[in-house]
Amino acid sequence: MPTGVYVRTKSWKHSKEWKNKMSERMRGKQYALGYRHSEEFKRKMSEMRKGKKPYKMTDRARSNMSNTHKGIHLSEAHKQHISEALKGKTPKNLALINSPNKKMGKNHWNWKGGITPFRTKIWHSSEYKKWRMAVFIRDNFTCQFCGVRSHMGLGKTVYLEAHHIKSFKDYPELRLVVENGITLCRECHNLTKHIK
Ligand SMILES: [Zn+2]
C-alpha cells in the first residue's frame, strides 16, 4: 500500500511532433475521438448486452479502491494544482441542484425551515447528553410506556431514547429540564412521533 507524500517534480508535455503522430495513427480508428460506430456494430453490441446486468462495482472492488487511497497525503502544491484545475468548472451535480423540480431543501415536503444544523448542534452537546442520562437514571433505564428494560438474556437489544413530553420545538426553555423528559424504548418513541 503506498503511503507518503507525492510530489510532482516535473510537468510532462508531449512535443507537437509526437501529438501529430498520435493523431495520425488514431485517425479513423475505432476508439478515436469522434469516431462513430456503424449501425451494424451498435445493433450487435445491443444484442450482446441483452439480458445482462448493468455494470455495478462490487463491494470488494470498492473497498480495494478505498484502501489504496488511504494514507495518501497530497502536498499543498498538489492540492493547489487540483484546485486551480477545477476552477471555473461546473460540478456534475449542479444541474440537479439547480433544477426547479428538485425535491431538495425548501422544495422538499419535509423541509422545516433550515433548523437541522441547530438541532444537530444541541443533540451533540454535552448538556443534552447529560440531560438524557439524567432522565434514564431517574427512570431506571426502563421504558415508561411498555416497561421493557435492557438486560442480558433478553435476546434483543432495547434502544432507549429520551422523549420530550413538551415538544423540543415549541418549548425551548424545557429542552434540558429533566422533568420534561421521559425514557421510552425506540418502538414506543416512534409511536409518539405520529401523534400531533
Ligand atoms: Zn417501550
Q: What pLDDT does residue 1 have?
A: 45
Among 161, 167, 166, 168, CA closest to 183: 161
Reported as a single tens digit per residue, the pLDDT across 31-65 is 666 677 788 888 888 888 887 777 777 788 888 88
How many angstroms is it from 53 CA to the middle of ligand 1? Answer: 44
Q: What pLDDT does residue 136 have?
A: 92
How many angstroms is it from 15 CA to the middle of ligand 1? Answer: 73
Q: What pLDDT does residue 9 have?
A: 60
Reported as a single tens digit per residue, the pLDDT across 135-184 is 999 998 899 988 888 765 666 778 889 999 988 888 888 989 999 999 99
How many angstroms is it from 164 CA to the middle of ligand 1? Answer: 15
* Residue 5 β-bridge partners: 73
* Residue 74 β-bridge partners: 6
Stretch 62-83: mean pLDDT: 83
How many angstroms is it from 166 CA to the middle of ligand 1? Answer: 18
Q: In terms of C-beta distances under 8 Å and separation of at least 24 residues, what long-range contacts does 164-172 make, across chains too?
A: 168/119
Give the chain's end-to-end CA distance (angstroms, integer). 55
How many angstroms is it from 143 CA to the middle of ligand 1? Answer: 5
Q: What are phi and psi of 126, to 5 degrees?
A: -70, -30
Reported as a single tens digit per residue, the pLDDT across 8-33 is 666 667 778 888 887 777 776 766 66
